[in-house]
Structure 1
């Protein structure tokens, strides 16, 4: 007699012609109930487990949270291999939920460091239109000016990314910012926060203007080959001087 026939008899099917082993049937029902609890647990925790699986590849492999997640997963696997009745379901649930909360905290911290906020983005846009930068762009028309310095500055300025739309509720359903698709593991992260780098670029622009003014002063004093200049020199020098005086620089 098969287990299926026994079960059919217990739930009201045709009784077998042999004397049933009630203790055995009870054990079978207990096993069935345990399997059902495990299946329910898998369904319940499946979405969180899938989220955490994605999160592990979003953060860099050396990130502390990734190490924490790997250790927690290993511990859970060991417990689940021995827990046939889902007796510790509450513990599993708490562990996964805490991992998710810790990930959200870690991701937001990385996001805030790598992206400019609303105020910083306004500062960056203002810097793009700054009189100092506009004057340097005019001066770049002079053939002997070190234009590579200006190019490097503008690349650094434009390389800063902004995103101010991310919030914690958004990350409860998505492991990656849906607004800027920030993936720390796929970006070359800077040690200095984006906001600090922006502030430094403002200082760098001051230094760049001062350096170029010195170069122009050398030209005017005759220490540089004067005959290499076009009309752009006079226009650029006047432009820079007027703008610098206007800003008190």
Structure 2
């Protein structure tokens, strides 16, 4: 009898871990960007609009396989691109449940953009440090951003505004305005109220953790006046 109790305890631990993994992955994938996109889309299915709630209910009822399948359904129906890390987590859960992993779109270049911004941050290369514009690392992140912008469209590309670390949102904002040429009154879907231009400018002129040099502050102001001439801003360094 002791070994039966031990087996039941192990099953409970396994199920609890699986429930946690699916819940965390769902929250990661079905984030604010996804929610705003769904609210403003033409999707009529309640299975999509209430997707997060449905998955939570399946998990609460210990229907982990159905919860996983519904998450995969949302991803495929909404044509969402996963990061490599998210795809690996989906596959790991599938293997744990002994089901065949579902083929999903991945965006390796999107992940490369995040890592590129991180590497530039650690190398002290700032988007508005124009003295470093000729460095290969600087050129590469701009070219990668332009490629993603063309591939994803400006609205999806600006999902990077949600990334507060490593100046990801600053790089994305600069690239979107300079190369995406947003319309003056185009609303950012992620915000629902602010224009793309104003949302990007907020990221660009926000306070920096580290004080900027007078030269970089001037670079920011000159860049804004050149690329968004209708805006008149004064950037104050910390």
TM-score range, shorter chain: 0.3 to 0.5
The TM-score, its normalising length taken from structure 2, stands at 0.33
- The structure showing larger relative contact order (alpha-carbon pairs under 8 Å, at least 6 residues apart) is 1
Q: TM-score, normalised by structure 1?
A: 0.32
